[in-house]
Amino acid sequence: MGARGARGDAGGRPWLGPVMATWVTDFRDLTAKDAPAAARRRAQFTRDVVEAATSRRMGPAWRSAVRCIGRVGRRACGAYVDVGYDDEQTIGWSCPACGERGTVSGFVGAAADLSRYVPRGKEVLWGFDEQERKLLRDATKELPNLRAVLARASPHVEIPGLLLVDATVPELDLMYTLVEDLTDLTRSRQRRELLDGLRASLCTSIDGF
């Protein structure tokens, strides 16, 4: 995994100038768990990009729920990044706010490749917020069929913090079952309130009102 700006050096380090870095990543070379924190963050970001891009059919790039980890001064950018396929073997991503961009190859067949869970059939719209998404992503690390639903989320163009996803009713039925199971195991009042909100939003989407 390496980055280079418009004048990046041969060692793959980004040129620290006004042009933001372009990251060229082979997914098979992602950093191990004992790597420095910055490298682990970049590896997780790349996994998130692959999950998002592969969770939908090939088509134009779209605004995902993945947050940019590029640096703007001393702060992380944090904007939502655009993702999509450049071709069947390559994913492209870009940040509309800070200008960082990159490509990812070598992801086909990896655990983060969610293309087998692209929905087929009639879909309905489901909405949730960032906190709810984080809770469910933590709970679906071993459930790729449900993780794919969350990976398809896109931010609402007018309502900050609201994420929307198109999903089939069977997918949302499974998500509802997961939320019920999590509720049964939860003693935290705050967490239970989040889960109650998720159940309500899922019922609205499933029932169509």
* Residues 6+ away with beta carbon under 8 Å from 69: 41, 42, 45, 76, 77
**Distance in angstroms (rounded) separating the CA atoms of residues 21 and 178:** 39
pLDDT band at 161 (very low <50, low <70, confident <90, very high): very high
83-132 tens-digit pLDDT: 999 999 999 999 999 999 999 999 999 999 999 999 998 999 999 999 99
- Per cent of the chain over pLDDT 70 is 89
State the number of CA atoms in the 13 A half-sphere of 62 facing the CB: 20
Range 151-164 average pLDDT? 96
Residue 82 pLDDT:
98
Domain boundaries, the chain: 2-105, 120-207
Pairing of strands 90-94, 80-87: antiparallel
DSSP state of 156: -
> Which is nearest to 193 in space by CA: 146, 141, 132, 147?
132
Residue 174 pLDDT:
98
State the number of CA atoms in the 13 A half-sphere of 102 facing the CB: 29
- Examine the pLDDT at 2 and tell me if it is beyond 70: no
